[in-house]
Structure 1
Amino acid sequence: MTEHPMPKKLRSNFPYGSYLWAVRAAQWRALGIDESELEKPKIAIVNSSSNLAICFSHLDGIANALKQSIRDAGALPFEIRTAAPSDFITGAGAGGAYMLAARDLITNDIEVAVEGAQLDGMICLASCDKTVPGQLMAAARLNIPTLVVVCGYQPSGEYNGKHVDIEDVFISSMHVVTGKLPVEELAGMARNAIKGPGVCSGMGTANSMHLVCEALGMALPGSAPIAANSRQMFDFVHQAGQRIVEMVEEDLKPRDILTPEAFANAVATILAAGGSVNTIKHMQAVAAEGGVDVDVYQLFRDLGKQVPVLVGVRPVGEHSIEQMEAAGGGRGLLKRLEPLLHGDALTVTGKTLTQNLHGVIVSDDAVIRPLDNPFATQPAIVMLRGNIAPQAGIVKYGIDPQKMRRFEGPAICFERSADAIEALQDGRIQPGHVVVMRGAGVRGGPAMGGGASKVVFAIDGAGLGDHVAMLTDGHLSGLVCKGLVVAEVAPEAAVGGPLALVEDGDIVTIDLDLNTLDANISETEMQARRARWRPLAPQFGGGWLDIYRNNVSSMEHGAVLIKPLDISRSGEQPQ
């Protein structure tokens, strides 16, 4: 009788001659995988490639290079696909509601493919902003060795002798709506804004989440931000293919890395970079999926008092993402922050953050500033609370010292972004108003669809950016840093949060020094309004959006859909 060696202790390996061994051997042989390779580690390459959006158009080339690197390291690569949401493409339907809802769909796509096949590890190709948290959430949920590869930012262009990027196009589109800009000017910008693949080139949500990956310890040090398809990016791709196989051998898992200290490091990094406010809910969602006992919202409150702004990349400042990369990138920023960080936090290298930062030098003090010479000492992201935001309200303040820090005025309320924009066009929104745009939260939108960012840019286009304030329970594009806008007010209006009870004429006060958001509504009046309040009919629904609306948790829990996977039940071997 022929002797067969015992399989390695990998969850992807099943006893020789068993049902699962036999059917997998048959399937994979037909794919060109020899039976002699079946006991190798099996690595998922999580790819959101799509021809719908430039953000994802280069990922197949990265996946191919990664496959070779994984094979060279002695493992088997298996490419899997997920949804590929892009704000500027997928955001067209249902008022943008598919965008945030896609984040959790990506997480579940990954679970079905990777957990169902019992693969041993995975590399996630991080691109546009919702793919990154979706991948990190899956890593935390499945808790198998995982490494994130940052797939880079797109090159921007010039128009009429000036820099132009997708942020400029987005803002200018709403300036056309309000009559501030000729449509042909917008068309010229759109023709020149993007010169190649990758994510938006500013410090929007995508590049902010790429920084989060490195600060959490889930990406190789020095890999964010990085130019898409550059030689440096492909160097990291090669290293990642080698490293993920070592991580499987070491059994180094996400929950070894995703500790409360790691989240504190990531929060400090976003504060220092003036990053996207969307990182807050995304990090909270990752923590929820990994069962990490950490309140990301409170971390932003606490660390906001300690962490100065050291980077001024557009839209917060005037530097480019290319300048930040050249000056030292995320690793350079972490080096500047090192005295404020938890240096003993473990990373995907198997080393601590402190070990990874040894010998790192920042090459341009004007781009990544030292702690004693920051762009701003006031926090770039301010967390508010008050009688109309008992859980939270978030302001992207940026680094402009002239920006308003206190505003008081009468509310003018809208349930739809189109109504607010119409009010701007016909002059009903006046200087001194506090524009309230509600019903755009995770349930009301649902999934924060509703166009809050369009209203912000329309206000700017109407020349009212310095003369009105805005409140919304919706979210803002990571490219938004205009005016005094309080976003993600929670609890949201759709579930009866106090924002739903604000009426036209109520005096609203926003104070960034006191961190408060209040309306002059007595508790008695609040109760009376609550008694007669009725929820509005959903703006959009059916299909996946109803599944999302009916299952999504609140913002303070990261707006996740389900309880964390019970990983103790996974990998059961057949009898």
Structure 2
Amino acid sequence: MSPTPRKLRSNFPKGSYLWAVRNAQWQAMGIPEEDCEKPKIAVVNSSSELAACYSHLDQVAKVVKEAIRAAGGVPFEIRTTAPSDFVTGAGARGAYMLAARDLVTNDIEAAVEGAQLDGMVCLTSCDKTVPGQLMAAARLNVPTILVPCGYQASGEYKGEHVDIEEVFIHSMHAQIGGSTSTEDVIGMSRCAIRSPGVCSGLGTANTMHIVCEALGMALPGSAPVAALSDKMFTDAKAAGARIVQMVWDDLKPRDILQPGAFSNAVKAVLAIGGSLNAVKHLQAVATEAENGVDVYGMFEELGPQTPVLAGVRPIGNHLIEEFEAAGGCRALMKQLQPLLATDPLTVTGATVADNLRTYQVANAEVIRPIDNPVAPQPAIILLRGSLAPEAALIKTGIAERKVRRWIGPAVCFETSDAAVAALKAKTIAPGSVMVMRGAGACGGPAMGGGASRVVFAIDGAGMGDEVAMLTDGHLSGLVCKGLVVAEVAPESALGGPLALVQDGDRITIDLDARKVDLDVAPAVLEQRRAQWQAPAKLFDRGWLQIYRRNVGPLAQGAVLTRPTK
């Protein structure tokens, strides 16, 4: 298609102050003066040498920039922070992990809005960069495409498959139960990752890559994809070419991020039993898009209606490579098509229906049709109740659960270290409900606190079927073990009901009724509330202080709130 003449926001009158000083900068960089009139595209790159998730992105950026130039645009590579849970989760009790998501969004805003660029191609990688980029697209509302940059190759140890999930699990087994030796953990860590890219299971990163496509913000057929594969580079090149036309057509994120698109994305996450973290991330994108979508309500309503169509690790036995070979997100949406909204626009400029019209699923055993699901029960359940009046989440997986209703006494912990120590000391009685609190968006802050450590410690202690767990923290997207209720809201640091629980209180978790309740008399709770004191605030300097003071509730996606007048 030929460019449609329209005024670009990046173009200033020739010879004006803004034109002249910008032209001086670009002349020094070897950018021709005539390029001042072309669409100027940000190539958002979170390249970093801290983690394998990001180590290949410079190669992707090069291909995207070449494609933008060939299509008649001018690329400008910009950088953001690059959080990786397994690396940048070491400091501040893990608080930098979620807090960095919003930092990614603000990094993009500062560069793209400051320079008044016309569009963006975002190179998606690890867990927090994907929603951070989607949030920026929704906030800035300039034409944007997201490019999934692929999952890493996993390895083999002692003749068995090994990936980062096994390293995570078995390191806790070695610490708690001794069922795995330290030598084996070291051996696994040397073999688990064989290429750049994100975690190879269907954790938060691959879930969010699929979300990008299901929302219509990535090209059809681009998620998931093996990092550095020919297909990944082909998709990246296509995105670079497409973004220039999107700028001329003025096709913006808010044209795409409509309620139907969010409904489709929620159904896609449910149909793969994806990461629980997708719930708050999708809500954050909806909040930034200012479209009024209640993602939590969608999960609550659509969960019982949406069958699980694929069993990919960690909820099933299929590998992510098999899911990609079967057709990935595009095949999933084809199988879900009777349940989807098919009229939303996508980055192709066409609708969901148009993109799926001639598509054929490559393997209907890996990605099944609606009438032959992997599991009839939802793999993700949203709970409410007296302990979670706003919401709580549980990832049940696809295996039939022996126990779907749990009643037990609370054993309360204020930190993950204390909970892990109790498991190691074997002081937790079977039948208990371990309550780990103070790990919410504000209290953590940023949901730091290591709730996932406690889940894997329970498994390592051999108590996965003997205790339940309740927390206001979040879980790694690779967690799918035990009866674990997470992201209980409102959080304890803000005085939510979880703050009032004491050792011995009876708690009921009912998956079929979708309830989580505290069996304590109202008068007793009123007395406790009168005596309750908010915990001391953590991290009173730097970015974490800014985050803690401004973060909103999970119901809004835990985004940074606007100051009230």
Q: Secondary structure of the equivalent of 1:62?
A: helix
Deviation of 1:360 (Å): 1.3
Q: Which runs of 4+ in 1 moved over 4 A?
A: none
Question: 1:571: which partner in 2?
Answer: none
User: What is the deviation of 1:542?
Assistant: 2.4
State the partner residue of 2:231: 232
After alignment, is 234-243 or 555-564 more displaced?
Answer: 555-564
- The answer as to whether partners of 1:416 and 1:450 remain within 8 angstroms in 2 is yes
Q: Which moved more, 1:532-541 or 1:436-445?
A: 532-541
- Cα displacement string for residues 355-403 of structure 1 (whole angstroms, at most 9, x for unaligned residues): 1011211121221011111111111100111111100110001101135
Q: How does 1:372-451 map to 2 (within 5 A)?
A: 372-451=371-450
Between the aligned partners of 1:541 and 1:340, the Cα distance in structure 2 is: 47
Native 8 Å contact 2:6 2:248 kept in 1: no
Q: In the alignment, which residue of structure 2 is the partner of 1:169?
A: 167
How is 1:462-501 mapped onto 2 (pairs within 5 angstroms)? 462-501=461-500
1:397-454: CA deviation from partner (whole Å, max 9, x where unpaired): 1101135311110000000000000000111112101000000000100000000000
Tell me: CA distance 1:325–1:342, structure 2 relative to 1, closer, same or farther (3 Å).
same
Correspondent of 2:154 among 142, 153, 156:
156
| Cα distance in 2, alignment partners of residues 158 and 366 from structure 1 | 25
Distance between the aligned counterparts of 1:110 and 1:523, measured in 2? 47
Q: How far, CA to CA, are the matches of 2:334 and 2:117 in structure 1?
A: 35
Match of 1:23 in 2: 21
1:562-573 to 2 correspondences below 5 Å: 562-563=561-562
Q: Which residue matches 1:361?
A: 360
Higher alpha-carbon deviation: 539-548 or 517-526: 539-548
| Match 2:56 to one of 43, 51, 58 | 58
2:93 aligned residue? 95
1:289–1:563 CA contact under 8 A, matched in 2: no
- Kindly provide the amino acid, as one letter, of the partner of residue 498 in structure 1: P
1:86 aligns with 2:84: yes
User: Structure 2 length normalisation: TM-score?
Assistant: 0.98
Q: Is the 8 A contact 1:277 1:381 kept in 2?
A: yes
The equivalent of 1:570 in structure 2 is none
Distance 2:36 2:561 in 1: 34
Aligned pair partner of 2:40 in 42, 46, 59: 42
Secondary structure (helix, strand or coil) at the match of 1:463 reads coil
1:342 counterpart letter in structure 2: A
Counterpart residue number, 1:128: 126
Is contact 2:119-2:247 (8 Å) kept?
yes
Instruction: Indicate conservation of the 8 Å contact 1:127/1:199, yes or no.
Output: yes
Output the amino acid matched with 1:272.
Answer: A
> 1:573 maps to what in 2?
none
Q: Which amino acid aligns with 2:355?
A: N
Give the drift of 1:158: 0.4
**Gap regions ≥5 residues in structure 1:** 1-6, 565-575
Deviations 1:92-130 (A, max 9, x none): 001110000000001000000000000000000000010
* Residue 215 of structure 1, CA deviation: 0.4
Is the Cα–Cα contact under 8 Å of residues 97 and 445 in structure 1 kept in the other structure?
A: yes
Letter in 1 for 2:497: P
Report the alpha carbon displacement of residue 563 of structure 1 after superposing the two structures with TM: 3.8
Q: Number of residue pairs matched?
A: 558
CA distance in 2 between counterparts of 1:486 and 1:542 reads: 31
Q: Distance in 2 between matches of 1:22 and 1:446?
A: 45
Residue of structure 2 equivalent to 1:349: 348
| Aligned equivalent of 1:280 | 279
**Residue in structure 2 matched with residue 4 of structure 1 by the alignment:** none
User: Which of these residues, 108, 111, 118, is aligned with residue 106 of structure 2?
Assistant: 108
Alpha-carbon offset, residue 538 of structure 1: 3.3
What does residue range 445-460 of structure 1 map to in structure 2 within 5 Å? 445-460=444-459
What does residue 262 of structure 1 align with? 261
Q: Which region of structure 1 is more displaced relative to structure 2, 393-402 or 359-368?
A: 359-368
Q: Distance in 2 between matches of 1:410 and 1:342?
A: 44
What amino acid is the match of 1:487? Answer: A
Other-structure match for 1:242? 241
Q: Output the amino acid matched with 1:96.
A: G
Q: Matches of 1:275 and 1:563 in 2, distance apart?
A: 30
Deviations 1:231-253 (A, max 9, x none): 00111111101100000010000
Cα 1:520–1:56 shift into 2, 3 Å: same
Task: Give 5+ residue unaligned stretches, structure 2.
Answer: none
Distance 1:521 1:374 in 2: 40
Q: Which residue of structure 2 lines up, in the alignment, with residue 327 of structure 1? A: 326
* Alignment partner, residue 527 of structure 2: 528
Spell out, residue by residue over 1:258-278, the C-alpha distance to the aligned partner (whole angstroms, 9 max, x if none).
Answer: 001100000000000100010
Distance between the aligned counterparts of 1:244 and 1:365, measured in 2? 33
Backbone CA RMSD of aligned residues:
1.0
Deviation at 1:37, TM superposition (A): 1.5
TM-score (norm 1): 0.96
State the match for 2:270 in structure 1. 271
**CA distance in structure 1 between the partners assigned to 2:508 and 2:401 by the alignment:** 19
Identity score, percent? 66
* Match runs of 1:511-526 below 5 Å: 511-526=510-525
Taking the aligned partners of 2:537 and 2:515, their CA distance within structure 1 comes to: 29
Deviation at residue 539 of structure 1 after TM alignment = 4.5
| Partners of 2:162 and 2:537 in 1: CA distance | 37
Counterpart AA for 1:122: M
State the one-letter code of the partner of 1:171: I
Check whether the contact 1:103–1:131 (CA below 8 A) recurs between aligned residues: yes
